[in-house]
């Protein structure tokens, strides 16, 4: 057993290590300056730079306005440094020139926050650059309903779903729009359309499912899209989409809840089951199945629309007059609603009849028995979505405002100029409801019925 052990002397080893370190330090740090006391001052930053072989981080240029402190050291401005590093200027609010005894300028954090918020909003509002798909690998056709020549939120969801399918594989979205002669009021490019096919002929307006299906089939033949998406609405998108699917011999997926390139989810069994399957060619998409495109702009380049011919077998005789009093609240198109500010109930019923509107009411009014319970609007009543809602003497409790959250146009008449309903309204009249109701009834009778 040959045992060869080297005996180590720890003290000597330490000495050697220290000497080596001093040598290295002297070699690496030529800039080290001598302090008045005679000791050599180390510059750790230079040492680190020499070790890593990387130049020391550039110290942000100090603005000349930065005052030198009493000790003569230059003060760093960490905010300016951060801004120069990130390349983004921090919005600094105009400072109110308040002289403080110490001479320092005082910042107002509230003003700063407002300025920051304004800068964020301005960035968001700045028109997004137009995104283009020059050479798409495939096409996705979306056919919005465009009722009243507007994109409904369901339409936007469908175009958003098409956008998702197209973006997943480098495709492009073609929106087929039956615009009618007056054109579309909303931008299709903002909704997410790369291309656009327009059928502006008056024969496609109104109820023309056979013509529309023929046009969609012609577009499918011309463009050969991978998928065709419709909103699954009762008598517009759902009808045309099923006609197209039957003509193509495709087993369309309806009531589609989730859309992905390889798998979709559709609802069945009376809303109690979800089926997952590979997507067929025609998809009838439910509302809120996908998020709409926001804050982005696409090209919406117009493609030549193919010519189509179809003979309608069902005659459209236009809209029939309906009695607004019999229409269920959730379906009503125009609602005149009463709150605690209304005392003259005969005048209220007369003004609703004169305007041809359905009647609604707030919870206190229905509690008091002035209107039947099924006329109550709000969180505990009906969530209504008419095109216009006239609130007579309703202050606007949060629960009531929830009930009208989807209403596009709100007219408020209230004695209190500071109530929430006046803030919510698109047109608000501050004044006495009792005096205004007969005046509104009179003018409605004069100008609607001519007496």
Residues 7-66 that bind another protein (CB under 8 A): none
Q: Does 110 bind another protein (CB under 8 A)?
A: no
Q: Residue 65 and residue 59: Cα distance in Å, rounded?
A: 16
How is residue 20 written in tokens? 């080596």
Tell me, by CB under 8 A, how many residues bind another protein. 88
Write the CA distances from 199 to 167, 185, 186, 221, integer angstroms. Answer: 26, 15, 16, 16
Stretch that binds another protein, among 3-11, 29-37, 68-76, 308-316 (CB under 8 A): 308-316
* Residue from the set 9, 134, 317, 369 that interacts with another protein by CB under 8 A: 317
Using CB under 8 A, pick the residue from 324, 360, 361, 403 that binds another protein.
324
Shortest reach from residue 318's CB to another protein, in Å: 6
- Rule CB under 8 A: say whether 89 interacts with another protein: no
Q: Is 292 in the site for another protein (CB under 8 A)?
A: yes
Distant-in-sequence contacts of 422-427, Cβ < 8 A, 24+ apart: 422/396, 423/396, 424/396, 425/391
Residue 428 Cβ, how far from another protein at the closest point, in Å?
5
| Selected range binding another protein among 66-74, 162-170, 172-180, 237-245, rule: CB under 8 A | 237-245
Strands (E) located in 91-146: 130-131, 139-142
Among 261, 306, 356, 364, binds another protein (CB under 8 A): 356
First to last CA, the chain: 128
Residue 304 beta carbon to another protein: minimum distance, rounded to whole angstroms: 29
Q: Does 275 bind another protein (CB under 8 A)?
A: yes
The per-residue b/e assignment along 159-178, b for 16 or more CB within 10 angstroms, e otherwise, is: bbbbbbbbbeeebbbbbbbb
Judged by CB under 8 A, the chain residues 183 through 212 that form the site for another protein are 207, 209
Site string for another protein, 386-425 (x = CB under 8 A): xxx-x------------------xxx-x---x--x-xxxx
Of 8, 73, 88, 272, the one binding another protein by CB under 8 A: 272
Among 55, 65, 97, 320, binds another protein (CB under 8 A): 320
Alpha helices in 249-305 (DSSP H): none
Identity of the residue, 140 or 390, whose beta carbon is nearer to another protein in the bound complex: 390
DSSP string covering 32-66, please? PPBPTTSPBPP-HHHHHHHHHTSPPPPPPPPPTTS
Which string of DSSP letters, residue by residue, matches 8-37?
A: P-HHHHHHHHHHHHHHHHHHH-TTPPBPTT
Residue number, 103 or 318, with CB nearest to another protein? 318
Stretch that binds another protein, among 37-45, 75-83, 197-205, 314-322 (CB under 8 A): 314-322
CA separation for the pair 359, 384 (Å, rounded): 12
3-class SS letters over 156-191? HHHHHHHHHHHHHHCCEEEEEEECCCCCCCCCHHHH
| 127 binding another protein? (CB under 8 A) | no
> Which residues, listed in sequence order, are joined to residue 105 by a DSSP beta bridge?
99
Residues 156 and 167: their CA atoms lie apart, in Å, by 16
| By CB under 8 A, residue 313 contacts another protein | yes
Residue 115 CB, nearest approach to another protein (Å): 16
Minimum Å gap between C-beta 374 and another protein is 14
Q: Does 273 bind another protein (CB under 8 A)?
A: yes
251 counts as binding another protein under rule CB under 8 A: yes
CB atoms within 10 A of CB 90: 13
Q: Does 355 bind another protein (CB under 8 A)?
A: yes
For residue 239, state whether it binds another protein (rule: CB under 8 A): yes
Q: And the tokens for 252?
A: 């369309």
- Measured between alpha carbons, how far is 394 from 378 in angstroms, rounded to an integer? 12
Site stretch for another protein (CB under 8 A), options 43-51, 95-103, 273-281, 361-369: 273-281
Residue 273 CB, shortest distance to another protein, in Å, is 5
Q: Which helix (H) or strand (E) holds 334?
A: strand 334-338
């Amino acid at each position: 057993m040959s045992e060869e052990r080297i005996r180590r002397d720890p003290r000597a080893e330490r000495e050697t290590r220290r000497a080596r370190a001093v040598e290295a330090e002297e070699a690496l740090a030529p800039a080290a300056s001598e302090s008045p006391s005679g000791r050599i001052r180390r510059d750790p930053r230079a040492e680190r730079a020499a070790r890593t072989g990387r130049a020391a981080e550039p110290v942000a240029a100090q603005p000349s306005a930065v005052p030198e402190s009493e000790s003569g050291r230059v003060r760093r401005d960490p905010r300016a440094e951060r801004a120069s590093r990130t390349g983004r200027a921090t919005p600094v609010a105009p400072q109110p020139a308040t002289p403080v005894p110490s001479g320092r300028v005082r910042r107002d954090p509230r003003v700063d926050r407002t300025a920051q918020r304004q800068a964020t909003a301005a960035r968001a509002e700045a028109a997004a650059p137009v995104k283009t798909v020059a050479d798409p690998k495939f096409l996705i056709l979306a056919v919005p309903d465009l009722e009243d020549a507007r994109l409904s939120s369901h339409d936007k969801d469908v175009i958003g779903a098409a956008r998702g399918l197209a973006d997943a594989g480098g495709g492009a979205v073609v929106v087929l729009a039956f615009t009618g002669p007056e054109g579309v009021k909303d931008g299709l490019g903002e909704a997410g359309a790369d291309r656009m096919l327009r059928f502006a002929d008056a024969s496609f307006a109104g109820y023309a499912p056979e013509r529309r299906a023929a046009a969609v089939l012609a577009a499918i033949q011309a463009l050969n899209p991978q998928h065709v998406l419709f909103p699954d609405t009762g008598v517009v998108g759902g009808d045309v989409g099923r006609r197209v699917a039957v003509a193509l011999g495709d087993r369309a997926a309806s009531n589609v809840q989730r859309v992905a390139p390889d798998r979709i989810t559709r609802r069945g069994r009376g809303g109690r089951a979800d089926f997952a399957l590979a997507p067929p060619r025609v998809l009838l998409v439910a509302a809120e199945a996908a998020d709409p495109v926001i804050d982005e702009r696409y090209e919406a380049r117009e493609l030549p629309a193919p010519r189509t011919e179809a003979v309608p077998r069902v005659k459209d005789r236009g809209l029939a007059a309906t009695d607004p009093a019999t229409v269920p609240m959730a379906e009503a198109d125009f609602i005149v609603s009463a709150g605690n500010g209304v005392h003259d109930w005969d005048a209220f019923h007369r003004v609703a009849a004169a305007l041809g509107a359905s009647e609604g009411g707030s919870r206190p009014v229905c509690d008091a028995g002035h209107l039947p319970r099924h006329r109550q609007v709000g969180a505990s009543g009906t969530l209504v979505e008419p095109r216009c809602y006239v609130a007579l003497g309703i202050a606007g409790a949060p629960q009531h405002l929830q009930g009208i959250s989807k209403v596009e146009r709100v007219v408020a008449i209230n004695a209190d100029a500071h109530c929430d309903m006046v803030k919510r309204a698109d047109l608000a009249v501050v004044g006495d409801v009792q005096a205004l109701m007969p005046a509104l009834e009179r003018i409605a009778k004069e100008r609607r019925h001519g007496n």
